[in-house]
Structure 1
Amino acid sequence: MVKETQDGQIVLNQPAGHVENGESLQQAVIRETLEEAGWQVEPTAILGMYAFTPFAGADTYHRICVICRPVGHMTDSLDPDILCAGWLTREEIEQHPQRSPLILECINDFENGQNFPINMINNHHLEAK
């Protein structure tokens, strides 16, 4: 889990981010987890796809949550937006404000054994000319 600031409040989130141009989802997961948590990971399965609209008229956020195997801690140098990163129990997570309700929804799905094959994500990138 990572701690970050949202609207002046410290909240918990899973490492997250955007897929960069030319990058596969799996590559983005590996990069974002390293940048935000300092851990090298291996994506092993898709947990699920989620959508969250925080309030009427707001943007809808789409999340693809990926199950990963931790490979090793690589660095303590984290993205400037991240206050700290660490492993927490479910009880510890529940005691802190979370960035969105999707955090506990993803944890519930993981604890219930939900997962989909990682190869359901197909990557086809056009070659630059």
Structure 2
Amino acid sequence: MIWKPHVTVAAVIEQDGKFLLVEEETDDGPLFNQPAGHWEPGETLTDGVIREAQEETAYTFTPQSLLGIYSWHHPRKDITYLRFAFTGSVGAHDTQQSLDTGIIRAVWLTLDEMRATRSRHRSPLVLQCVEDYLAGRRFPLDLISHY
């Protein structure tokens, strides 16, 4: 058996004390997550997070730093996720854009609201990334090299 982690990109976006999340349909019902998704062939990690944020929220996202690289093993699915989480600035919102398949809505939540809904988070990484963001974790984007 060949082990292959699922590589994902995620955007941690804060504005006025609230964080941009998506509520999405999953096998476990509607859950909250950062705008996130699988890294696609042929794109850089930053291109991937820009694309995912736009597809899932209809907001433009400009990555400014790498928040961290996270590993999480889903206990019921026997899948390991390798998440590259980015922080940056949010731009224009396209109110006419349809959201990606499976996305119910994009929503802005405070930290307290996120903590209150933690049982409805897609993974423990949702809150961990926000806590790392609030702790000031940031790494320069040039830490990542693509050849």
Whether TM-score is above 0.5 comes out as yes
Structure 2 residues without counterparts, runs of 5 or longer: 1-20
Match of 1:122 in 2: 145
In the aligned structure 2, how far is the partner of 1:57 from the partner of 1:31? 26
2:36 counterpart of 1:13: no
Structure 1 residues without counterparts, runs of 5 or longer: 125-129
Q: Normalized against structure 2, the TM-score is what?
A: 0.79
Structure in which a larger fraction of residues adopt strand: 2
2:47 counterpart of 1:53: no
In the aligned structure 2, how far is the partner of 1:86 from the partner of 1:101? 18
Report how far residue 74 of structure 1 moved.
Answer: 2.2
Amino acid at match of 1:2: V
Amino acid at match of 1:87: W
Bigger shift: 87-96 or 111-120? Answer: 87-96
Match of 1:81 in 2: 102
| Segments ≥4 residues shifted beyond 3 Å | none
Report how far residue 57 of structure 1 moved.
Answer: 7.5
2:94 counterpart of 1:94: no
In the aligned structure 2, how far is the partner of 1:57 from the partner of 1:38? 30
CA-to-partner distance for each residue in 1:30-89, whole Å, 9 max, x for gaps?
111000011101100000000111227711111010002112212441002100002111
Percent identity for Structure 1 against Structure 2: 39
SS at structure 2 position matched to 1:86: strand
Amino acid at match of 1:67: T
CA 1:41–1:56: 2 relative to 1, 3 Å: closer
Q: Which has the larger radius of gyration?
A: 1
Aligned-CA RMSD value: 1.5
